[in-house]
Chain A
């Protein structure tokens, strides 16, 4: 007994079940490339601006930027359809923009103003849009995984064919409630797509230092949930994987796990000096894998857009972001009476 148990343990040791990263892509047409380029660039410019406003003291508290990870949410959204829900952690600005929420409303929430999505009462980490089916913005690591499983439950209960995209970090994937959710999602075959954004660190702790098996795509194995590792820096690979997962879930086969191999360029939050990784590591990712640069190259090489056309897209996006920033700085703070509102619905 003892002998077989220990050999089983060895088999399950680090990396033993590593699956090859799925780099299968479906080539994008011109419209798709341009769409992906715009969406990702909007997120990047928005986040840079948020960082700048933070530096000016216009944004307070914690502020977690999504720079580097743009291809994940953009690729996923490209495969989604109306009514599909999204829920994520506090690193949520990119997800909101990709859900088509108004950059002005998002930025105004970051600055704590009255026309922010939460009237200035939620801030960077807690924002929602019922209209756009974006269910937060959650500050408790892992909480969004159970909540998102509930969104999937609601789809099944109502008999619609929508799916829920449930994003979490590599760090979050070690929370107990993630496995409680996996179990229920498979037990009841809920249309839940779990997207683990593996950016290699949870704050300052690398995946190797936090996870007994670093192939996070296999975290659903004991529940019978299929999973795959995806090149999360290539928006085409993300979209192709999303389509596989969505088809699976919409057909009633239950949950699916996509581990997106990605990278965040900035610190965990604005106040993180990122001493736990080398500059070279960051630079290498930026130089060799940047999700936006990849699309940009393909647009040029494929003759889909000229440098000038791309410049003009850049300019448009800068204008959108700078309007959002102006709005977020000039919009008034919430009225003091808002202190006491939105605590209860009528009893």
Chain B
């Protein structure tokens, strides 16, 4: 049987083209790789190479033909040993052999999730830390280090790398003492080369190691964001589940104090947009410790956002072996019935202080610490809003396409009927961070703003 030569698609978008020229003529010998024709696509004139060898038996579509559909028969090649009589048996008037374009799916399969509608629990949830657990007072800085150290003792595949993490003991002294305990093999000072060392760590994680990458601050991770998203977050999917990325990206994020626009951005919303990433932003020392341990053990890439101001703050931390906080679970940091305040990171401090003040006026705010922003613990938020009917979201990040916009959408979507007021929010102002002390204060959320928002949604202003 002669071999059919079909009109080729020569670009991702081509549907038809013009047959500009036959380079080979009927009767010509054709080798694999020989140019047989020139075809004009929507973008350019392209040469068509033969993928068969033989003799050009018949030209079906003549030179100069316009609008030839992709996959239409344009010529017949005779195989070795065939003569022209073989052509007689081939019908050439057939319409394009093109496959039916795949029909658009009737519906998109639903994202798998638990079907049960969120309701109020019949019983109170077990507290995360059982009553009577021994506690010790620690700073966020110490808790974070202890969490990393415990995991590095547990698993030789875990290592820490970043600028100034080893000999200098960490730009913010998070890795104090770690070089002494683990040595240069596992606590690694890098050159100032975020793009490179982040990609290197992503590669090491693909090979099965468990890197902790410290960014001196997350502002500098913008140099490396390609590897965080394209190399770490997407690889499990792009490899059909073969290559996972057990890696933690951590460091201080958001505003510190008077370091201005380039050093004061909150990236929570940025990373939380990306499927494949886990995004954590704790507030209390206990959560820093328990969550960094979970992050290191997770087989997923985790963006672990910290707050420089909080590093020095002290909290109660359970004094137990192997204290773990699960990823993906919010925490009710303060119980209340009148309004739900949802926040995370530094926003928690404003929220808890506001709740304290509001209590004096008889308004009992329930304060939810998200802790993990992706995957977002919607259930805990919705349960609370079902109870309170009102919701205020507090964050230091910019307002547009933010964590608060996402929370507000989910509350509207899943608890619309329970709302007694529109969701309100308190965000960082929609400006680059200013340097001047007074302007910086104005740019960040305040306790007064949180109180104002609560009063607005409770109609008590």
A143 adjacent to chain B (CB < 8 Å): yes
Question: Which of A51, A52, A87, A157 is the one whose CB lies under 8 Å from B204?
Answer: A157
Near A by CB (< 8 A), chain B positions 179-216 give 185, 190-191, 193, 195-209
Query: Using an 8 Å CB-CB cutoff, how does the interface string of A189-201 with B read, 1 for contact, 0 for none?
Result: 0000000000000
The reply to whether B195 and A146 contact each other, CB–CB distance below 8 Å, is yes
The reply to whether A51 and B193 contact each other, CB–CB distance below 8 Å, is no
The reply to whether B238 and A118 contact each other, CB–CB distance below 8 Å, is yes
A271 adjacent to chain B (CB < 8 Å): yes
The reply to whether B41 and A271 contact each other, CB–CB distance below 8 Å, is yes
Smallest Cβ distance from A98 to chain B, in angstroms?
A: 19
A34 adjacent to chain B (CB < 8 Å): no
Interface size on A, residues (CB 8 A): 71
Question: Which residues in A have their C-beta under 8 angstroms from that of B326?
Answer: 347
Q: Most B CB atoms within 10 A — which of A127, A176, A266, A273?
A: A273
Smallest Cβ distance from B182 to chain A, in angstroms?
A: 12
Q: How far is the CA of A275 from the CA of B44 in the complex (A)?
A: 9
A29 adjacent to chain B (CB < 8 Å): no
The reply to whether B43 and A271 contact each other, CB–CB distance below 8 Å, is yes
The reply to whether A153 and B242 contact each other, CB–CB distance below 8 Å, is no
A136 adjacent to chain B (CB < 8 Å): yes
Smallest Cβ distance from B270 to chain A, in angstroms?
A: 18
* Interface 9-mer from B134-142, B225-233, B309-317: B225-233
The reply to whether B8 and A181 contact each other, CB–CB distance below 8 Å, is no
Query: Using an 8 Å CB-CB cutoff, how does the interface string of A326-347 with B read, 1 for contact, 0 for none?
Result: 0000000000110111111111
Query: Using an 8 Å CB-CB cutoff, how does the interface string of B390-410 with A read, 1 for contact, 0 for none?
Result: 000000000000000000000
The reply to whether B207 and A154 contact each other, CB–CB distance below 8 Å, is yes
Query: Using an 8 Å CB-CB cutoff, how does the interface string of A252-266 with B read, 1 for contact, 0 for none?
Result: 000000000000011
The reply to whether A271 and B10 contact each other, CB–CB distance below 8 Å, is yes
Question: Which residues in B have their C-beta under 8 angstroms from that of A271?
Answer: 10-12, 14, 41, 43-44, 46
Question: Which of B14, B108, B241 is the one whose CB lies under 8 Å from A342?
Answer: B241
Q: Most A CB atoms within 10 A — which of B41, B45, B197, B276?
A: B197
Smallest Cβ distance from B46 to chain A, in angstroms?
A: 5
Q: How far is the CA of A339 from the CA of B112 in the complex (A)?
A: 10
CB contact under 8 A between A57 and B10, given known A147-B203, A342-B240: no
- A133 nearest in chain B by CB position: B207
Smallest Cβ distance from B36 to chain A, in angstroms?
A: 12
Question: Which residues in B have their C-beta under 8 angstroms from that of A95?
Answer: none
Q: How far is the CA of A181 from the CA of B206 in the complex (A)?
A: 17
Question: Which of B98, B243, B275, B328 is the one whose CB lies under 8 Å from A130?
Answer: B243
Question: Which residues in A have their C-beta under 8 angstroms from that of B235?
Answer: 128, 136
| B contact set with A: CB distance below 8 Å | 6, 8-12, 14, 32-33, 41, 43-49, 51, 70-71, 98-99, 105, 108-109, 111-112, 159, 185, 190-191, 193, 195-209, 226-227, 230-231, 235-244, 275-276, 278, 298-300, 326-328, 375
| A contact set with B: CB distance below 8 Å | 48-49, 51-52, 54-57, 60-62, 85, 87, 116-122, 126-130, 135-140, 143, 145-151, 153-155, 157-158, 176-177, 179-181, 183-184, 187, 265-267, 270-271, 273, 275, 286, 336-337, 339-347
